[in-house]
Amino acid sequence: MQQINRRRWITLALSSPVVLAGCGGGTDTSKAHVRFINASSYDALTLEVDGDDLFSSVAYGDETKYKDVDPGDCDSTISRSSSATALISTFTPDLSEDDDYTILAWGPVGDLGWQLLDENTSDPDDDKTKVRVFNGATDAGELDVYVTAEDDTLSDSVAMQSAAAVGTLNDFVTIDKGTWRVRVTAAGSKTDVRLDVSGVVFGGGNVYTLTLAAASSGVLVNAMLLREEKQALTRIDVTDARVRIAGAAAANATVTATVDGTELLSSGSPVVSDYALVDVGTPTVTAAIGTTDVSSAVASQALEAGVDYTLVIYGSAASPVAVWVEDDNTLSSSSSKAKIRLINAISDLGSTLALKLGSSPLASGVAVGAASSYAEVSATTSGTLTVTSPALSGSVLTLSEQIIEAGKVYTVLVGGASGAADGGLVEDH
């Protein structure tokens, strides 16, 4: 198994003996030849076939060898390796004698799925590659996949696969063999980039399935390149984080911020910028409230690959505060629910905040400079969000007639000053 990223190229010689450690299939032509790949958010999975553990404790991205399975007796279950309870109870894949298959486990914790990959496609010419896409990144939604030369811009490129829907195995596309740059974006967008990796080798005469899987934030994605009839698996992991700026300064002051030289925000408070891709590691951040440089208020933050962050800048030019908040943009496991949290950015309040939707409490005890955990709520077209504090009588902030859609993630950002709080409902994902 190999892992690549866009800043450190590794030659992926997919025809070498090291990578092609074995061919698909066994010697028993009366059997089907099956491997099991974990592309899910579960740490380790076990595939049981006909009452026996065929593959045990398979971690995300592990290579597995093909094993022989009786096509007529292949009732299967998938379970978490640390549990005796099946995550997917009995299913029967449609297998044929002496053919090769991958059983792919995919999806988030709590919503595991499986997909059978038939790996008996005719090979392309030696100067071509066949590729199909499977989108197993549940929380990322529909995605476009670009396979381009290193220096090609997305604005001038055509997607190899457009609008790859979650849980859908797409048709094969034939492309030139070569070493290409793989980029994945939100469907229909050339700026909302979810994965960007260079140095990916697509060997001539080979057939691949490019499997997409969610990174930890739920929005960025990882990928695996599976070659048919070979046990080789190439991991293509995201190497970036995402960062946005939330301005919540007192008196609606303008907050300006740059991250690694790119301006992400320059607008009056309260305001939240779009997310931007940022290299992992500790970024260089500059910040201002009004015309006053407040960069010294921003603590260093080591960014991890696949994670979303919000940098909240609040207080005043004279007393600035900045905090990093890690975001969880994974969706609710219920298709009828949304997720909401509260961020308390009222610097002079000296007290906690609470949040409710209608009469239902969502968060309490949220300290200044902190974010609550996420609460799941039912969708509504006219919800009233109320923020209160034990230090103040009445509400700190009331947001009426709010539209909260199922399948989305929200933040209620409250900033300003204790006597003049301001804020709003922000759609995160």
pLDDT band at 84 (very low <50, low <70, confident <90, very high): confident
Mean pLDDT of 40-58: 94
pLDDT of residue 333: 87
**Contact yes or no for 134/115 (Cβ under 8 A):** yes
pLDDT of residue 9: 39
pLDDT of residue 419: 86
Q: Mapping DSSP to helix (H, G, I), strand (E, B) and coil, where does residue 15 land?
A: coil
Which has the minimum average pLDDT: 2-6, 122-126, 178-182, 357-361? 2-6
C-alpha distances (whole Å) from 373 to each of 198, 244, 265 are 36, 19, 25
pLDDT of residue 85: 87
Q: Give me the residue spans of the domains in the chain.
A: 32-238, 239-327, 331-428
Question: 97: closest CA among 126, 72, 64, 119?
Answer: 72
User: Phi-psi region for residue 306, left (φ > 0), alpha (ψ -120 to 50) or beta?
Assistant: left
Q: Does domain 239-327 have CATH number 2.60.40?
A: yes
Mean pLDDT of 343-372: 96
Question: What global pTM score does this model have?
Answer: 0.90
CA distance 141 to 124: 30
Mean pLDDT of 121-125: 95
Domains 239-327 and 331-428 share a fold: yes
In the sheet that holds 67-69, the strands lie side by side as 67-69, 32-40, 100-107, 113-118
pLDDT of residue 25: 53
Count other C-beta atoms under 10 Å from residue 235's C-beta. 19
pLDDT of residue 19: 35
pLDDT of residue 393: 87
Mark out the alpha helices in 65-140 (DSSP H runs).
none
User: How is domain 331-428 classified at the architecture level of CATH?
Assistant: Sandwich (2.60)
Question: Is the per-residue pLDDT at 44 higher than 50?
Answer: yes
pLDDT digits (tens, 9 = 90+) for 393-410: 889 999 999 999 999 999
Mean pLDDT of 343-353: 95
Percentage of residues of the chain with pLDDT beyond 90: 87
CA distance 38 to 46: 9
